């Protein structure tokens, strides 16, 4: 049950500047209020030309603050300082090239730029502008400055159809991704998070593989790809250069932006994509749920049930252990991580898991139960599990969201490299 007391809610200040992408913000505000945040909105003069302040006041249940309010006679304190002190977290969405320039050069000529310069709370940045503006040398120089701000989490603009009807990079990141970034920051309990994976390359696999049987059937499994996706996004939030190789994603949320990803179908595709990247990565996280066997016969016809027995007898082929095979070419400074699903008790599974970490040649293996309700497979499922290392040490991570689990796992993975 949600607690509707304002005192108990997370206070969120949303800064809205004059990009056409501002029309997306009312939906974001509405969803955040439904998720029990106490939201206040601040609009620039140009943003007022694109959306109505009254709409944001109604949706947020708080009066929308305008640029002209900064030095209003009814303000007993400097408004930009008062708002910074009120907020637990901030979001600036969309961030325009003009506001970015004012921020990094210390130009406090308006309410929003004054807030940005005075603020020391965690802030999520969601830029939006035309592609030519985004790739401009001055804009990129200013944007790079933000990466040195310890309280800033940047979400780069997305690729798509822009307001000029051209396809390019410049769209505001999806609302779902902004909310995911907010949840990530919340997991740090209002403390500054660190880009402790800056300049690190992480290769992550996730989701299911699918092996064709005949024209109508295939061998696959229930993996949604959500755990791998959360690992990829958390690593990206923490500064890593991430490549995510995955099967079809079964997730209704629009949270795939911002990471380089490749969708594969079967184990052969997966192996080929890993081969391209494995020598370049610092961390390899093998989260993909690979089918155990495939059909060697490439038939274009639907096989009658009456012929199944002979067909499988002559055509079934076990898929090699992908993590084990790539561990044979593992470099000394690389960390390889495997995943292991189990049923029953951890007491009964422990011996098998410890054998697997040796067999697969990895540094760590995370074992999670899949026979407990609302755990394991599925985009909305939570997870718990046990992380084992090569020294017979194990660490239990209690049931939590897959985002929080990803963050805790990456903490442990980083520690293994020290």
Is the distance from CB of 10 to CB of 37 less than 8 angstroms? yes
Which CATH number fits the domain that encloses residue 169?
3.40.50.1950
pLDDT of residue 128: 97
> What positions carry a catalytic annotation?
164
pLDDT confidence of residue 189? 64
> In which residue ranges of the chain is pLDDT below 50?
1
Total count of domains within the chain = 2
Task: Identify the pLDDT of residue 129.
Answer: 97
Q: Are both 167 and 311 inside the same structural domain?
A: no
Residue 192 lies in a domain: no
State whether 100 and 208 are in the same domain: no
On whether 321 is known to bind a ligand per the annotation, the reply is yes
Q: Are residues 173 and 222 in the same domain?
A: no
Residues 224 and 359 occupy one common structural domain: yes
Q: CA 125 to CA 128: how far, in whole Å? A: 10
Q: What is the SS3 assignment for 104-134? A: HHCCCCCHHHHHHHHCCCCEEEEECCCHHHH
pTM: 0.92
Of the three residues 141, 163, 186, the one that is the final residue of a domain is 186
356 marked among binding-site residues: yes
- CA dihedral sign, ordered 143, 147, 149, 153: positive
Same domain, 232 and 359: yes
Using one digit for the tens of pLDDT, what is the confidence trace for 257-271? 989 999 999 999 999
Cα 315 to Cα 82, 268, 295, 302: the distances in Å are 71, 16, 5, 15
Do 146 and 217 belong together in one domain?
Answer: no
On whether both 174 and 206 belong to a single domain, the answer is no
In this structure, is residue 196 part of a structural domain? no
Per DSSP bridges, beta strands 364-369 and 383-389 are antiparallel
Question: What local confidence, expressed as pLDDT, does residue 1 receive?
Answer: 39
- Is 292 marked as binding a ligand? yes
pLDDT given at position 250: 87
CA pair distance 120, 370, nearest whole angstrom: 42
Summarised one tens digit per residue, pLDDT across range 102-146 is 999 999 999 999 999 999 999 999 999 999 999 999 999 999 999
Residue 193 lies in a domain: no
- 320 assigned to a ligand binding site: yes
Instruction: Report d(CA 158, CA 229) in Å as an integer.
Output: 17
Domain assignment of residue 106, given as a range: 6-186
As given in the structure block, the two tokens for residue 330 are 């593992």
Taking the CA of residue 261 as centre, how many other CA atoms within 13 Å lie in the half-sphere pointing to its CB? Answer: 23
Residue 387 bridge partners (DSSP): 366, 395
Tokens of 339: 């995943």
d(CA 348, CA 346): 5
Could you tell me the CATH number of the domain that includes residue 237? 3.40.50.10300
Question: 105 and 64 share a domain?
Answer: yes
147 and 246 fall within a common domain: no
Burial class of residue 41 in the structure, from the number of CB atoms within 10 Å of its CB (0-12 exposed, 13-18 middle, 19+ buried): buried
């Amino acid at each position: 049950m949600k607690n509707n007391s304002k005192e108990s809610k997370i206070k969120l200040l949303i800064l809205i500047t004059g990009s056409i992408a501002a029309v997306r913000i009312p939906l974001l505000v509405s969803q955040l209020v439904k998720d029990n945040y106490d939201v206040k909105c601040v609009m620039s003069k140009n943003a007022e030309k694109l959306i109505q302040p009254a709409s944001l006041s109604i949706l947020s249940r708080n009066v929308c603050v305008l640029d002209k309010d900064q030095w209003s006679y009814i303000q007993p304190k400097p408004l930009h300082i008062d708002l910074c002190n009120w907020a637990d977290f901030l979001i600036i969405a969309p961030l325009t090239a003009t506001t970015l320039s004012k921020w990094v050069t210390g130009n406090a000529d308006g309410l929003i730029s004054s807030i940005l310069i005075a603020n020391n709370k965690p802030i999520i940045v969601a830029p939006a502008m035309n592609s030519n503006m985004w790739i401009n040398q001055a804009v990129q120089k200013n944007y790079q400055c933000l990466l040195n701000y310890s309280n800033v989490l940047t979400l780069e603009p997305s690729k798509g159809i822009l307001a000029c009807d051209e396809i390019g990079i410049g769209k505001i990141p999806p609302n779902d991704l902004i909310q995911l970034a907010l949840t990530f920051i919340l997991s740090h309990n209002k403390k500054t998070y660190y880009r402790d994976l800056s300049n690190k390359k992480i290769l992550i696999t996730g989701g299911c593989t699918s092996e064709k049987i005949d024209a109508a059937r295939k061998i696959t499994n229930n993996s949604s790809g959500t755990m791998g996706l959360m690992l990829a996004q958390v690593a990206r939030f923490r500064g890593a250069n991430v490549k995510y190789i995955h099967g079809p994603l079964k997730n209704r949320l629009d949270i795939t932006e911002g990471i380089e990803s490749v969708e594969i179908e079967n184990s052969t595709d997966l192996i080929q994509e890993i081969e391209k990247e494995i020598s370049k990565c610092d961390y390899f996280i093998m989260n993909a749920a690979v089918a155990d066997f495939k059909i060697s016969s490439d038939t274009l016809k639907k096989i009658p049930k009456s012929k199944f027995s002979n067909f499988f007898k002559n055509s079934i082929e076990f898929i090699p252990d992908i993590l084990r095979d790539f561990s044979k070419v593992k470099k000394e400074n690389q960390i390889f991580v495997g995943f292991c699903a189990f049923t029953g008790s951890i007491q009964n599974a422990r011996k098998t898991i410890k054998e697997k970490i040796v067999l697969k040649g990895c540094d760590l293996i995370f074992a999670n139960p899949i026979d407990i309700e609302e755990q394991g497979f599925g985009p909305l499922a939570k997870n718990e599990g046990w992380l084992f290392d090569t020294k017979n040490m194990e660490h239990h991570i209690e049931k939590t969201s897959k985002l929080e689990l990803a963050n805790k796992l990456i903490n442990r993975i980083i520690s293994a490299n020290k």
